């Protein structure tokens, strides 16, 4: 069979693959503790589910405008006003089939062969393949533990070429939880303005912030930067609605129109029922978010403290999102590591460590190499306190054997 060059360049989502592997082991009766999935473990709040049920029962089950129902667009505009102090008109927002689809649409509309897009690492696994699917080239800019996994203005400036079209900012970040402060964004913005770049601000974790941190994005900095920024967001993470598949974009009206054209010739509208449920999510009781964040905060401390007691592992406390992203270079230096490398041969050390943990500790984590950081692994702490305590204990035991 001959396939397109386009699809031959893309590999399957590694996070979904690891979850599938852990589930296969569980199906065989093996008790695996999963830190793989990137989704809240809570049920979708009752009032949101009820809005979906009402939509079904009242016959709101037909095609809608490709870019979403006016009620949802209005709710999104209102959300930006309420939560972000940002003014958009209804023609400056559109609704997509999940935040991932929002990014995919933008990539298809904005980039092509010859375009470069700057992606700070560690990055969300899906950015580079979606940029490549559009024909563009992801330009990876590395950051380190020293800067809390954030890039600096100097790092950004070095990566810019005449072909650079945009920079992706995902704050709070998946996988590191890194969150840019207003001052840090201001510093990056000088490079953005100086080189006429566009910013794609992936704000999907904006509400999952700890220690009273305030959220800020590029569009908040000035009118000029708001014009250059496209904000991506969605209901998946904030409202535990990953399966409903609703994401949205706000920004320049011309771009929004193009996204709606693409969507009208591909998916058509996001599911009508999910759109009605999302109206309720965005306009209803917002304390469901703070309740979830309070649980995440407790688990965050539990997992970070636990991981920091494992030989060779060092974990910063993530200021946002629900992932721990410990540095594992110390594990690769332990006396027993050579044997692990021989047994679990793979091109990357973080993948070897992941295999070791899955097979010998029965713990599923995601190798950092998938996020462009081979010296780390990612653990989602959107799981129960019991799982965290038991999982960390298993890691401590398995890695301890290498010391």
* Interface positions with ligand PLP (CB under 6 A): 38, 98-100, 124, 170, 174, 202, 204, 234, 236-237, 242, 247
Closest to ligand PLP by CB, 155 vs 202, is: 202
Which residue's Cβ lies closest to ligand PLP? 99
Closest to ligand PLP by CB, 210 vs 332, is: 210
Q: b/e per residue, 115-145, with b = 16+ CB within 10 A?
A: bbbbbbbbbbbbbbbbbbbbebbbbebebeb
Closest to ligand PLP by CB, 237 vs 299, is: 237
- Our measurement of the distance from residue 64's CA atom to the centroid of its chain's CA atoms, rounded to an integer in Å, reads 28
Nearest distance from residue 179's CB to ligand PLP, in Å? 13
Nearest distance from residue 233's CB to ligand PLP, in Å? 9
Q: Minimal CA–CA distance to 199: which of 238, 239, 171, 240?
A: 171
Closest to ligand PLP by CB, 64 vs 96, is: 96
Closest to ligand PLP by CB, 67 vs 247, is: 247
Nearest distance from residue 32's CB to ligand PLP, in Å? 22
No. of helices (H) and no. of strands (E), the chain: 15, 12
Three-class secondary structure of residue 299 per DSSP:
helix
Task: Return the structure tokens found at 189.
Answer: 């913005």
Closest to ligand PLP by CB, 37 vs 328, is: 37
Nearest distance from residue 191's CB to ligand PLP, in Å? 22
User: How far does the chain reach from its first CA to its final CA, in angstroms?
Assistant: 49
Nearest distance from residue 208's CB to ligand PLP, in Å? 10
Q: Which strand (E) or helix (H) includes residue 138?
A: strand 137-142
Task: Return the structure tokens found at 283.
Answer: 């306009």
Nearest distance from residue 202's CB to ligand PLP, in Å? 5
Alpha-carbon radius of gyration of the chain: 21
């Amino acid at each position: 069979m001959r396939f397109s060059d386009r699809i031959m360049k893309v590999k399957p989502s590694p996070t979904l693959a690891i979850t599938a592997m852990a589930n296969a082991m569980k199906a065989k009766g093996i008790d695996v503790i999963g830190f793989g999935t990137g989704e809240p473990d809570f049920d979708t709040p009752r009032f949101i589910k009820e809005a979906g049920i009402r939509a079904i029962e009242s016959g709101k089950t037909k095609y809608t405008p490709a870019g979403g129902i006016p009620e949802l667009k209005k709710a999104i505009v209102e959300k930006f006003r309420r939560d972000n102090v940002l003014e958009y008109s209804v023609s400056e927002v559109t609704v997509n089939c999940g935040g991932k689809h929002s990014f995919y649409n933008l990539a298809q509309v904005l980039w092509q062969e010859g375009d470069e897009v700057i992606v700070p690492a560690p990055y969300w696994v899906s950015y580079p393949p979606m940029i490549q699917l559009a024909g563009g080239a992801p330009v990876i800019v590395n950051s380190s533990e020293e800067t809390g996994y954030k890039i600096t203005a100097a790092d950004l400036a070095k990566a810019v070429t005449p072909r650079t079209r945009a920079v992706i900012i995902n704050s709070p970040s998946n996988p590191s939880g890194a969150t840019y402060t207003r001052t840090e964004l201001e510093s990056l913005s000088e490079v953005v303005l100086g080189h006429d770049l566009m910013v794609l601000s992936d704000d999907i974790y904006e509400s999952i912030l700890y220690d009273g941190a305030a959220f800020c994005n590029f569009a908040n900095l000035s009118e000029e930067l708001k014009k250059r920024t496209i904000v991506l967001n969605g209901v998946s993470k904030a409202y535990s609605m990953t399966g409903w598949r609703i994401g949205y974009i706000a920004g320049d009206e011309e771009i929004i129109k193009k996204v709606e054209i693409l969507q009208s010739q591909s998916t058509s509208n996001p599911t009508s029922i999910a759109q009605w449920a999302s109206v309720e999510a965005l306009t209803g009781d917002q304390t469901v978010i703070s309740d979830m964040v309070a649980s995440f905060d407790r688990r965050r401390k539990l997992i970070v403290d636990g991981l920091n007691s494992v030989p060779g592992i060092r974990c910063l406390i993530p200021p946002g999102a629900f992932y721990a992203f410990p540095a594992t270079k110390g594990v690769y230096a332990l006396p027993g590591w050579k044997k692990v490398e021989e047994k679990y041969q793979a091109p990357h050390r973080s993948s070897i460590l992941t295999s070791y943990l899955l097979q010998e500790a029965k713990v599923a984590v995601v190798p950092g190499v998938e996020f462009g950081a081979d010296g780390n692994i990612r653990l989602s702490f959107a799981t129960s306190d019991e799982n965290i305590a038991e999982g960390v204990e298993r890691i401590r035991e398995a890695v301890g054997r290498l010391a």
